Amino acid sequence: MKRKSFTAIYLHKIKNLFPILGKQERQYLKGFENTVQDYADDHSILSIQDLIREFGTPQEVVDSYINQADSNYLSKKMKKNTFIKRIVLIVVSCLLMFIGFYAVLVYKDFQITKNEHIEKEEIIIEYEE
């Protein structure tokens, strides 16, 4: 693997561990990415382990950010994310219920139409003698 792919994997792991990704987190990640890229350009990086030795595990990097961040900011962001997730869950649930109800109505109409459809007609003609 190339050096950039090691840094990309390392940075991707860090980004995935962030509980929220607001403006401040994206700015932090951008600065951290620049630092890691500069380090990778200046040093011989042979594996992700080299990056972990220098900067710490992805979890340690995220923990460090969280410990330094304003707790009020993080609390507000997490509450906002929870609220948004609940709204999305409610909307998706309502949508699924609507689709289910609509599917039942369509199926009932199909059954009615199927029962009313004449598939074959038998005509008996009787002659009187």
Q: Nearest to residue 11, comparing CAs of 73, 45, 71?
A: 45
Same domain, 100 and 61: no
Same domain, 11 and 35: yes
Residue 38, pLDDT > 80, answer: yes
- The tokens for 2 are 């190339």
Of the pLDDT bands very low, low, confident and very high (cuts 50, 70, 90), residue 1 is very low
Say what percent of the chain tops pLDDT 70: 95
**Is the confidence at residue 117, as pLDDT, over 50?**
yes
Asked if residue 123 is part of any domain, the answer here is no
Q: Is the pLDDT of residue 70 over 50?
A: yes
User: Do 61 and 79 fall within a single domain?
Assistant: no
Structural domain boundaries, residue 107: 71-117
- CA dist 40 and 8 (Å) reads 11
The pLDDT value recorded for residue 3 is 47
Residue 90 lies in a domain: yes
- The total number of structural domains that make up the chain: 2
